[in-house]
Structure 1
Amino acid sequence: MAEVEFERRLERLFAAGSELDDAQAFAARVERRLNRGWTARRWLIGAAGIAGGVIGASQLVFSNLPGRVETAEQSARALGAGLARVSPNPDLLAALSGDYGLWMAVGLAVLTLGYAVSRMIDEF
């Protein structure tokens, strides 16, 4: 019985820790260091953002963007003209609208279900 009382008393002594005299000063020093670290991080992130913006802008200026846009427009016009001459194959449309299209839809549904089940297994 004495051992149980001793253990309870010992637990109470460890649970009730005394506050040190310099606890407030220690907490203030820790907070100052943390705030200084956050200030440095903010400055570094801002500097990295500015440097990235300058690098991106310089690459945009030196990449001859207007000439590339004009070339892309010409390519798009040529592709559009070529696609206008191509007509869809009626046999392909008939195959997709019949049983073949149904089996494709079933296959895609099974694949989607398998993906969903695998994601659920990963989550749990």
Structure 2
Amino acid sequence: MAEMEFERRLERLFAEVPELPDAQAFAERVERRLATGWTARRWLIGAAGIAGGVIGASQLIMSNLFQRVESAGDSAKVLEQGLSQLTPHEGWVSGFADGGAVVWVASALAIVAMGFTLTRVIEEL
């Protein structure tokens, strides 16, 4: 019985963390360092974003993007003419004729996607 009382007393002693005399000063020093580090990180991230934007804009200008967009418009017209000549043939329709397996697979995938979305929403709550 004496051992049980000793064990309980020992547990109580270790459960109570003693307050150190410089705990408040230590906490303030840590908070100050964190605030200083965060300010520096914000400035570095902003500077990196501006540098990346300038480099990206210069790459777009130097790559003649605007001339490529104009030529892509001509290519789109040719592609549209080619696609208009395509007609469905027996191979395309056979996927739907076999009992609509394609529709069932697409429905199953949609249900799985909704399940993943639902579990994500539940985790966020």
CA–CA distance in 2 between the matches of 1:104 and 1:55? 55
Q: Which AA in structure 1 matches 2:22?
A: D
Residue in structure 2 matched with residue 17 of structure 1 by the alignment? 17
The CA distance in 1 between the partners of 2:6 and 2:16, in whole Å, is 16
Moved over 6 A (4+): none
Over residues 39-84 of structure 1, what are the superposed CA-to-partner deviations in whole Å (9 max), with x where a residue is unaligned?
A: 1221121111111101110011111122112211111222333444
Specify every segment of 5 or more residues in structure 1 that has no aligned partner in the other structure, as ranges.
none
5+ residue gaps, structure 2, are 120-125
Q: CA RMSD in A?
A: 3.1
Instruction: Work out the number of aligned pairs and report it.
Output: 115
Alignment of 1:90-105 (within 5 A): 92=90, 96=93, 101-103=96-98, 105=100
TM-score after normalising by structure 1: 0.73
* d(CA) in 2 for partners of 1:71, 1:114: 39
TM-score for both structures, normalised by structure 2:
0.73
> Matched residues, percent identical?
57
Amino acid across the alignment from 1:17: V
